[in-house]
Chain A
């Protein structure tokens, strides 16, 4: 299926008339060296206590016809010291785009984000999560797509055809932050007889009405989030990708320094229909104590009506966090958050900090700790995988 979308992409390109004002190819991107340290011994003896990793993501961009047509190519490569699964390459984007007054068309491999909240992204569903990159689920695999956006006074209507499915990535046997037993990504089970060649579709309407940003979406196709079954001898987890229908709503609005957010979904196809919701706020003190430092407070409530049967550990949880922005020349920032299960003592802590060095380097610190994780919770496998991570990145 990937081959077909490449062919159609090339076809589109050839069918374009040749324009004189082709811009030079812009090359940018980043390369980063990452070090993770796990202070606790792993649950499994194959896993190591420390890990080096290197990643590179260049971006090539060219436009013509006054920027109305463009081609974007973003390959990605990671080399990992221990986990052969985490050593992986991906095409994050290979996207042709053409833009008119009241429509935009994109075809190829792309990345799309929907949503408003910070703790989790319920509504966001176009791209598969590249979970092996980071357990925060913010890294995504490139998705083959054709997207037509119709731009009208009553809002933007995005239509998607999604030919081809990407499997979620999971840490291998040697990796940390993995399920016990490890996920066998080689033998997934699909509900669709077309397996990973099922053509999914999605539609989203979004509009800004005064102080409100509203999005309503529907997705029909292979679930990005798998269920798991144990294999015959119980030595591995097999991901099961069902066909689902998911309707989503995302809203954000502001009132003074308050930013209010909501994401809600209803999904059918994985057992009985269920609903999940995240709602919360972000409040920012601008210029605390007569300085230029901003301090923001984030609070969100996460609910999933599957309760403890949920695939997510966030079935009845709170996030409380703070974001400190120094507004200095080095763009120093800190983000600290706690997710607390409302019905048990289980907690997870998250700290992120970043600081620019010179004009093109950045150092980042990331640390996550898990405490009192309920052995029945899905993230119990991670309970000994507290870590601290340093990343040094060069941007070009």
Chain B
């Protein structure tokens, strides 16, 4: 009898807890799950081809190689090496991203062999003249946002959670983002960005997800459309590699100076 009562009480409690979960808690839970599933890749190499398009459709190309080191409990470290356009070839950017405090960034200028620190409230600034800002391309960290689960919705035949995210870090260019998270792989399929005046600024869509090392999902293609300027950027990723053995030493200023 006592056992039965305990079981009933427990299930009642569980039921209540599940029911009492607020949209905020539900949103956070999904974010934590996304983060958990993408943990443990150690390091990552990728080649990025960006195609910038202005309102008239005129195109411009950027080629960047990105090395990323996973840092547990903080934002990741990365070195981006610019290959094109040719006048910025050899320029490299070292970033120590942080969830809530400003990122540390150093830029290497090959002509002068100079490493310059960047005062990095520039999270909202455009990355290489594209429609992606720095905050759009840095690693996802749970602490970067507060969350609100909105609804379930289907996107191109896939079940998604629709979640509103509010940046917690300073100097974001956005008041909020709405993210459509694939319920199967816990990766975003679509993001809408709202500017500081809370009007829709940009839409980002993710295409052709591939799985690496039986765990990590990466989209081969991202499309960013700016609704206000009518400009757009396509981001193609190539040659993903994981767990290549990179260490902190590959992400210091000495390595930045010889980044190739």
- Partner-B contacts on A (CB < 8 A): 28, 30, 61, 63, 67, 70, 97, 99, 101-102, 104, 111-113, 115, 138, 149, 151, 156, 206, 208, 211, 213, 252-254, 256-259, 282-284, 286-287, 290, 292, 294, 327-331, 356, 359-360, 362, 393, 395-396
Contacts and interface: CB of A to CB of B under 8 A. Distances in A.
A95 to B, nearest CB: 10
A63 B85 contact: no
Where chain A touches its partner, the secondary structure class is strand
Given A287-B124, A287-B173, A356 B249 contact: no
A219 to B, nearest CB: 17
Closest 7 CB pairs of A and B: A395-B86, A259-B119, A329-B60, A254-B119, A360-B86, A113-B113, A113-B114
Nearest to A67: B260
A360 B121 CA distance: 30
Contact of A286 (B113, B115, B124, B260): B124
B223 interface: no
Contacts of A259: 117-119
B86 A28 contact: yes
Contacts of B121: 256-257, 284, 286
Nearest to B123: A286
B117 A213 contact: yes
Given A67-B260, A113-B114, A294 B125 contact: yes
Contacts of A113: 112-115
Interface stretch (B20-28, B141-149, B251-259): B251-259
B129 A329 contact: yes
B126 A156 contact: no
Given A287-B125, A294-B125, A28 B89 contact: yes
Contact-residue bracket for chain B = 35 or more
A331 B112 contact: no
Contact of A328 (B119, B129, B258): B129
Interface string B238-260: 00000000010100111000101
A213 B129 CA distance: 28
B87 interface: yes
Nearest to A252: B117
Contact of B258 (A30, A97, A206, A254): A97
Contacts of B104: 211
B125 A327 contact: yes
A393 B54 contact: no
A200 B136 CA distance: 48
Contacts of B87: 30, 331, 356, 360, 362, 393, 395
A61 B260 contact: yes
B61 interface: yes
B105 to A, nearest CB: 9
B12 interface: no
A292 B117 contact: no
Given A331-B85, A362-B87, 20 more contacts: A28-B89, A67-B260, A104-B258, A111-B113, A113-B112, A149-B254, A254-B117, A256-B119, A257-B119, A282-B119, A286-B122, A287-B173, A330-B129, A331-B87, A331-B129, A359-B61, A359-B85, A360-B85, A360-B87, A395-B87
